[in-house]
């Protein structure tokens, strides 16, 4: 992984369920990321929820995004 690439982590099923309940949405309403995206390794499957952590250059804070793996 390149140092500028954001960290991509697969959420466990319990974590994914908590996130969906917290946001009061369905998995289909999350933004999508392709299963063949170069940032994802072979452990990611369609339907998994990915936590993406990016560091904000200006503030230095970590910003978290969520995506669902799609075809």
What are the pLDDT digits (tens) for 5-23? 799 999 999 999 999 999 9
Per-residue pLDDT at 1? 59
Angle value at C-alpha 32, between 8 and 36, nearest 5 degrees: 65
Q: How large is the average pLDDT for residues 58-71?
A: 94
Q: Say yes or no to pLDDT of 40 above 80.
A: yes
This prediction has a pTM of 0.86
How far from the centroid of its chain's Cα atoms is residue 50's Cα? 2
Per-residue pLDDT at 11? 97
70 closest CA partner among 52, 51, 48? 48
As a whole number, the mean pLDDT across the chain is: 92
Per-residue pLDDT at 3? 66
- Sequence-distant (6+) residues with CB within 8 A of 14 are none
Ordered domains of the chain (ranges, CATH): 7-70 (3.90.940.20)
């Amino acid at each position: 992984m390149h140092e500028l690439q954001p960290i991509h982590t697969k959420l466990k099923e319990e974590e994914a369920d908590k996130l969906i309940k917290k946001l009061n949405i369905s998995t289909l309403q999350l933004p999508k990321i392709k299963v063949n995206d170069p940032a994802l390794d072979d452990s990611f499957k369609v339907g998994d929820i990915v936590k993406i952590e990016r560091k904000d250059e200006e503030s230095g804070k970590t910003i978290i995004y969520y995506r669902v793996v799609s075809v």
